Amino acid sequence: MSSTATPPVADRFASPAGVVDGLAAVGYLADEHIGTVVYLADRLAKPVLVEGPAGTGKTELAKSVAALLGARLVRLQCYEGLDESKALYEWNYRKQLLRIQVERAEGSAAGAGAWSEVEQDIFSEDFLLERPLLEAIRAVDPVVLLVDEVDRVELETEALLLEVLSDYQVSIPELGTVRARQIPFVVLTSNDTRELSEALKRRCLYLYLGYPTIERERAIVLAKVPGIATRLADEVVRVVRSLREMELEKHPSVSETLDWARTLVLLGIEHVDTEVAVSTLHLLLKYRADIEKVAAELAILPPGASRG
């Protein structure tokens, strides 16, 4: 079961600029900073910790790196209560029980020797259930490991992640130590709902993905929304930017910008005025108080006016 770890695959990216161009080719518009962090993470064999508001492209970055590398994406979706059995591995207890029952039905001779053989059998590879962390470590094909919303787990699980990502190995008492056959490209995402440990942050390269500039978000809209006119894309991102400057319960994310833009195109709308903005606010805002606040402010504008 135990094997010697091999060095990570080197030179997957020629340069930070090559990362930016490659990600653009698979539909992810990255800036120079993102390209540099991804490039260095690959060369240094370090995980990337990506923090920022929800909907700013953190998860999509991991998916796009996987697409660019032609790698398999292995995703661990974090949640409160996530434990080792769901993140790392567990034994197939039902299958083990059936194995024991079969042994008894066949009338095997009792005794320590007979039970020792059964015990050795039920704690073998055939009864092991891989979870995402172990699956990524044991993979022989190229893998991108996405640990999504790591800020939602308890400190104990965070410590488990740190242990696995520090040495890229897992100790299974019944089987021994499993060492990585290759170092996966690892992306951890956080919505910054709680402070992560210094130890985990120290292990990773840090990347903050905030809301994009108007220019970059316009480029994203033009790339992701087929058939949208440049003028409409510009109006969309300017309205969204103005909403993000207001004191709201939740600001529109990039994904919500795209949903709004697609809706306007489907409705055949070519220009965003006050009436259009008010009637479609529910696509951008997800709290009633926010919708009412913005609608009240937009109502002050003269008919036909556009915001931003």
What residue segments make up the domains of the chain, in order of their start?
Answer: 16-88+131-208, 90-122, 214-298
pLDDT at 11: 60
Between CA 73 and CA 65 the distance in angstroms is 9
pLDDT at 300: 54
Candidates 143, 125, 127; CA nearest to 135 is 143
The pair of structure tokens assigned to 68 is 């660019």
Tell me which long-range contacts 3-11 makes (C-beta under 8 A, separation of at least 24). Answer: 3/178, 3/179, 3/181, 4/179, 5/168, 5/169, 5/179, 5/180, 5/181, 5/183, 6/180, 6/181, 6/182, 7/45, 7/183, 8/42, 8/45, 8/182, 8/183, 9/142, 9/182, 9/183, 10/43
pLDDT at 302: 44
Strand partners, 187: 48, 146
pLDDT digits (tens, 9 = 90+) for 212-257: 999 999 999 999 999 999 999 999 999 999 999 999 999 999 999 9
pLDDT at 4: 43
pLDDT digits (tens, 9 = 90+) for 13-56: 889 999 999 999 999 999 999 999 999 999 999 999 999 998 89
**What is the percentage of the chain residues whose pLDDT exceeds 70?**
85
If residue 205 lies in a helix (H) or strand (E), which one and from where to where?
strand 205-208
Residue 151: count of CB within 10 angstroms of its CB: 16
Rg of the chain taking only CA atoms, in angstroms: 25
Q: Is 147 helix (H, G, I), strand (E, B) or coil?
A: strand
Average pLDDT over residues 147-166: 88
Do the bridges between strand 48-51 and strand 143-148 make them parallel or antiparallel, or are there none, so unpaired?
unpaired
Tell me the pLDDT of the chain averaged across its residues.
Answer: 86
pLDDT at 256: 95
pLDDT at 124: 65
pLDDT at 115: 58
Between CA 90 and CA 88 the distance in angstroms is 7
Between CA 259 and CA 72 the distance in angstroms is 27
- Is residue 301 very low, low, confident or very high in pLDDT (cuts 50, 70, 90)? very low
Candidates 219, 306, 295, 300; CA nearest to 254 is 219
Candidates 208, 216, 214, 139; CA nearest to 170 is 139
The pair of structure tokens assigned to 53 is 């508001």
Top CATH class of 16-88+131-208 equals alpha beta
Helix intervals (H) in the chain: 16-25, 32-44, 58-69, 84-87, 93-105, 112-122, 132-138, 155-167, 198-203, 214-224, 230-244, 254-266, 274-279, 288-298
